[in-house]
Chain A
Amino acid sequence: MTHHVLDMPIDADTARSLRIGDTVTLRRTLYGIRDATLIHMFDRDRRTRLDLNGHAVIHTAPNVHKVPVSAEAPVGYTPFCIGTTTSMRMERFTRALMEREGVRLIIGKGGMGPATLEAFRDLGGAYLAIVGGAAALETTWIEQIEDIDMDDLHPESLWRFRIRDFGPLLVGMDSHGGSLFADVQDAVAARRDAVLASIGASE
């Protein structure tokens, strides 16, 4: 197991060098997306002026303060509590996000499914698991809201965060078909019958 410190953006080879069980700390830039952002980008073919090529996106649900534009708040927002939402809802967008926008890493909670794993294998990408519900800590890794697009979808806008040592995150899915989530699910399913037997609740 290796710890990787990645200065974003990264290329396909770097993404492929990540293996499940490794840990990752990100630096510089991170994009925030969510259900509505993706629906507009891909189901309604909306284009963004922000450059996601080689970057990481996080499935987020930000609580922000609206403030006057200043050096600290270039687009008039400061972070208040930035947390992570369940990734699985956004499964069908992974390939498009990678093919059209060049995204390499997805950060979220709960893991994603087979379509995502396939896209990672074909295009070079990885899923980084963050601890869901640890939003106060996560917020301290975010320095600034640098830019924003599609803010008519607020708070489900496309956010650009300036980050400082964002992590450690756990590589949950990689470009080599590995998924910690699938591994744990299989192990749990294998233990189920013995657990039921231990409390006299077998079928």
Chain B
Amino acid sequence: MDLDMREVEAVCAALYVQALKILPPDIKAGFKTLVQNETDATGKTILGTMVENIAVAERTKNILCQDTGIPIYNVTIGRNVAFDGAELKAAIRRGCERATKENSLRSSVVHPITRKNDQTSCGIRVPIIHVDFDTREETVGIEMIPKGSGSENGSFLKMLLPSDGIKAAKRFVIDRVVELGGRVCPPTIVGVGLGGTSDLCMHLAKIAATRPLRTVCSDEEGAKIEAELSQAVNELGIGPQGLGGRSTSFAVHVEVAATHITQNPVAVNIQCHSARRALATVTPGGIAFS
């Protein structure tokens, strides 16, 4: 399959808009579970408002939240796909820019020093583009994530000592969730990275925070910790918007990587209740959005 760059551009534009308007099915299902389990009256009311907002956004074709986020594109390329890598990156960027201009989306991206906003949702190294490969025949997956800033500001890294053990990493996660309270627009997905180098650890936390609900860490030990922490955070009583209740998080997700004998890194990255993601799968048969 030859990857058509005009098609990639159009898909990347459409994905940004879809992600801002329609929450993925796993998050909608996650809301149902939280509503069922919530015992606090205020918590229940706030969850109800969030669920209503999802329906209103779809009905009025509006975006879910005013924060258009930092655009992230995750591209997964299968077997027997021919493409020019530099062209691919340029096409993704054009798509992101087009979505912003054609839909008068608020550009939330600025230069880090001058704070200048080009009004394109693009800037130096933004959109963030990750390219990976898998074994699917003639298939390209493009996932778009508009990462909201209230929750992105809930990001932390700590290079613990090996002698601190996993215990200290668990405590670090709980203490960060306590510290953040309602600021990160709970209910959240708490993304946790364990291991790797400092940069990989932070990246693992982002993968974890943006992983679909009901998926499980592929490492058995990581899976145990995510189950344990998922239960524990909802015992804290922070609740939706930090106003009390059980529904502090949809889940805690953990991703792991091997690390150095002298290191014990832990990272936290939060996804808010506007846990937006959109995916397009490109094959010779056409494009499917999900």
Contact = CB atoms under 8 A, between A and B. Distances in A.
Contacts of B46: 131
A65 B185 contact: no
Contact of B171 (A62, A88, A139, A196): A196
B272 interface: yes
A39 interface: no
A188 B170 contact: no
A184 B242 contact: yes
B67 interface: yes
A116 to B, nearest CB: 15
A139 B244 CA distance: 25
A84 to B, nearest CB: 8
Interface residues of A, number: 47
Interface stretch (A75-83, A90-98, A117-125, A158-166): A75-83
Contact of B64 (A82, A135, A189, A191): A135
Nearest to A155: B106
B171 A111 contact: no
Contact of B66 (A62, A194, A195): A62
A196 B178 CA distance: 12
B94 to A, nearest CB: 22
A13 interface: no
Interface of B is mostly: helix
Nearest to A132: B185
Given A81-B63, A132-B185, A180 B243 contact: yes
Contacts of B182: 109-111, 132, 181, 184
Contacts of A81: 62-63, 65-66, 106
A199 interface: yes
B236 interface: yes
Contacts of A111: 182, 242
| B-side interface size class | 35 or more
B283 to A, nearest CB: 33
B191 interface: no
Given A81-B66, A180-B244, A135 B167 contact: no
Contacts of A110: 181-183, 241-242
Interface string A144-187: 00000000000100000000000010101000000011011101
A156 to B, nearest CB: 12
B167 A188 contact: no
A86 interface: yes
24 contacts: A63-B106, A86-B183, A109-B241, A110-B181, A110-B241, A131-B50, A131-B53, A131-B240, A133-B64, A133-B185, A133-B274, A135-B62, A136-B60, A155-B106, A172-B243, A184-B237, A185-B181, A192-B178, A192-B236, A195-B232, A195-B236, A201-B170, A202-B171, A203-B171
> What are the 5 tightest A-B residue pairs by CB atom distance, in nearest-first order?
A83-B66, A136-B57, A134-B53, A201-B170, A137-B53
Interface of A: 21, 61-63, 65, 80-83, 86, 88, 109-111, 129, 131-137, 139-140, 155, 168, 170, 172, 180-181, 183-185, 187-189, 191-192, 194-196, 198-203
Given A61-B66, A88-B183, 10 more contacts: A65-B104, A110-B181, A134-B50, A135-B53, A136-B62, A136-B63, A137-B52, A137-B56, A184-B237, A188-B181
